[in-house]
Amino acid sequence: MKTISILGSGMVTGVGLSSPATCAAMRAAVSGFTETRFMNKDGEWVIGCPVPLEPPWRGLDKLAHLAAPAIRECLSFAGGVQPETIPLLLCVAEKERPGRLAGLDEKLLPEIQMLLGFRFHPRSSVLARGRVGGAVAVDLARQLIHDEQLPRCLVAGVDSFLVGPTLAAYEARHRLLTKKNSNGFIPGEAGTAVLLGSTGSVGLAELRCLAVGFSRERATMDSEQPLRADGLVEAFRALNRDGGVTLDDADYRYTDCNGEQYGFRQDRLAISRTLRKLKPRFDHLHPADCIGEVGAAVGPCVLGLALTAARKGYASGNGEMSPPGRGVLCHFSNDEGDRAAILLRYIEREGSR
């Protein structure tokens, strides 16, 4: 079993310009929802969660300025490892995304490296997989760390739904949350990152990635097939094949559910079909409550939230100090049918606190 640990996180979101600020805001249920500069077809301002950048960058420049500070924050946990030896796996919007920025795959990574002032390891790459990109990157990071003996790996995600053509396309499909549509999401934007390394490399307490699972769902949101959550169920079962763990090993979950009914129905169906052990509580947490839909940035965001919750001894974000447990299930879904799941566990040995 190839396990790795999450060593640190960085975040630039609509509720905080660092990981500690963002995590504190989310724990306090602070949202960054406000009127944006975009207007819908009814003449009303679109509600979103923009990041207050100065100056207000646009296009690829904005994405680069969202991602670079989060990556720089992550590198502070590298423990003296030089950035040139660390691959950067950059998660961006899927190619099917309406209003996707031109040059995203070719130009964004070089621009981020220019802003940071150095180049990452040659194994760095861009993963255009949307919300499941973070899980794909974690799986690839395991291979780089174990098979190629690289000391660290950075998984970053950056995305913005606050783009005119993107908003217009989702509004036409009745997927934005408006006064007339309660079954929709609030568009957001963010740059997030996590630093990964081999287990046992940062002292006594670690948040370990025990298993990653993937699958495909045929009954997507736009299909007419009945939803049974077969794709997510299979991703959960793949966790056992990958790392010998099941949902019984999870105590709470972080997901990419964004406010649309489809995601919550899928979650409940998959959990009810897979969970075999009755749990007195199985908290379901989702950062979209505070920062809206952030697409490809949600994977590293969720992992960073889980790391902070584990280190600080809380998990539910509702003011309760006693965590429900140390096992964390994270799952993600793309509109095109990709499904992914990650199971984490906080390992704390005597003397780590």
In this predicted model, what pLDDT tens digit does every residue of 25-40 receive, in sequence order? 999 999 999 999 999 9
Q: What is the mean pLDDT of residues 108-127?
A: 97
Q: Report how far residue 90's alpha carbon sits from residue 111's, in angstroms, rounded to the nearest whole number.
A: 12
Which domains are seen in the chain, by residue range?
A: 4-198 (3.40.47.10), 209-348 (3.40.47.10)
Q: What are phi and psi of 211, to 5 degrees?
A: -165, 155
Q: Report how far residue 239's alpha carbon sits from residue 75's, in angstroms, rounded to the nearest whole number.
A: 29
Residue 112 near residue 64, CB atoms below 8 Å: yes
Helices (H), the chain: 19-27, 59-75, 104-116, 133-146, 164-172, 230-243, 261-274, 288-291, 298-312
Angle, CA 57 vertex, CA 84 and CA 52 arms, to 5°? 95
In this predicted model, what pLDDT tens digit does every residue of 209-267 receive, in sequence order? 999 999 999 999 989 899 999 999 999 999 999 999 999 999 999 999 999 999 999 99
Q: How confident is the model at residue 300 (pLDDT cuts 50, 70, 90)?
A: very high
Does 74 score more than 70 pLDDT? yes
> Positive or negative, the Cα torsion across 60, 61, 64, 65?
negative
Give kind and range of the element (H or E) at residue 4. strand 4-12
> Positive or negative, the Cα torsion across 142, 148, 154, 155?
negative
**Which of 76-80, 93-97, 200-204 has the lowest average pLDDT?**
200-204
Q: What are phi and psi of 120, to 5 degrees?
A: -85, 175
Q: Which residues does 337 contact at the CB level (< 8 Å), separation at least 6?
A: 216, 217, 218, 220, 231
In this predicted model, what pLDDT tens digit does every residue of 280-299 receive, in sequence order? 889 899 999 999 999 999 99
Does 331 score more than 60 pLDDT? yes
pLDDT score at 277 = 85
Q: Report how far residue 68's alpha carbon sits from residue 51's, in angstroms, rounded to the nearest whole number.
A: 14
